[in-house]
Amino acid sequence: MTHPSHHTAQPAPSPQGWRAAGPLHESDPRPLLSVQDLSKTYGAHIGCAGVSFDLYPGEVMGIVGESGSGKSTLLNCMAGHLVPDTGQVIFDTRADGPRDTVAMSEPERRMLGRTDWAFVHQHARDGLRMGVSAGGNVGERLMAVGARNYGRIRATAEDWLSRVEIDPGRIDDAPRTFSGGMQQRLQIARNLVTGPRLVFMDEPTGGLDVSVQARLLDLLRGLVRDMGLSAIIVTHDLAVVRLLADRLMVMKSGRVVEQGLTDQVLDDPQHGYTQLLVSSVLQV
């Protein structure tokens, strides 16, 4: 077998010539997600431009950058919430192998969105149905893909609540009675219940206090490792990517200025902006 890094040649290498690291699982060299030359503009304003990378099964990719750097635009383009102006988002589907999700039909993309993909919003309220019980929230994706046995749906929901450290006794409570951290964990349970292979996370720890953040990160790390998930995490919190991400992409003004292994980028930043970013973190 050829060395995996041969598969990951970047169409547009970053200024420092960083190449994407190889897959963690050498047995499966095909990327799960391959983003090619993705661009999105809002009129004359650039959302993100010329972004390309490969994500391998089991890999966690972090995207950092300041507010307005295009991280969320990029994430929404990849997850199908926004239509990119140019570029391809090729996902390795279970049934048909690699497919460009941008060119997919809407029903197919929606199906992907509730089976193999998951999207964790920054604000749990955006990702939950606040008027529906915790069990109903977790069960929705199951029912959307055809589960019609109440007992089994409920058992699965209970199992997932305990996996995200929510007391299963609260299965019939509405999420609005939950604390912020619990809501975020519920949102994660609701997303992971169908066993997705790729999770998009938009600032999953934003707006939570630090001790709750730590628990959530712990939980996420456990779930990602146990389920062999691939994930793309957008955040401005370098501690989050240090803990969770295998690889890191630094964005500024809609463009990727540096990418590489997380520890390499954070410990030996090459680009001026990355150096600024790393040195801006307060040491307690």
Q: Is position 115 an interface residue for another protein (rule: CB under 8 A)?
A: no
- DSSP E strands: which ranges in 101-246? 117-120, 198-202, 230-235
Closest to another protein by CB, 84 vs 135, is: 135
- Shortest distance in whole angstroms from residue 11 CB to another protein: 33
Of the residues 99, 114, 190, 255, which one makes contact with another protein according to CB under 8 A = 114
Number of helices and strands (H, E) in the chain? Answer: 10, 10
Number of residues that bind another protein (CB under 8 A): 23
State the Cα–Cα distance between residues 163 and 230, nearest whole angstrom: 18
Using CB under 8 A, which residues numbered 235 to 254 contact another protein? none
> Interface with another protein includes 140 (CB under 8 A)?
yes
Query: Helix 134-144 to helix 150-163 angle, to the nearest 10 degrees?
Result: 120
Whether 118 contacts 199, CB under 8 Å: yes
17 vs 169 by CB, closer to another protein: 169
Residue type, 168: P
Q: In what order do the strands lie in the sheet with 117-120?
A: 117-120, 198-202, 230-235, 60-64, 247-252, 255-261
Compose the 163-202 pattern: x for residues touching another protein by CB under 8 A, - for all others: --------xx------------------------------
At closest approach, how far in Å is the CB of 204 from another protein?
A: 24
CA–CA gap between residue 145 and residue 149 (Å, rounded):
12
**Footprint on this chain of another protein (rule: CB under 8 A):** 106-107, 110, 114, 129, 132-133, 135-136, 139-141, 143-145, 148-151, 153-154, 171-172
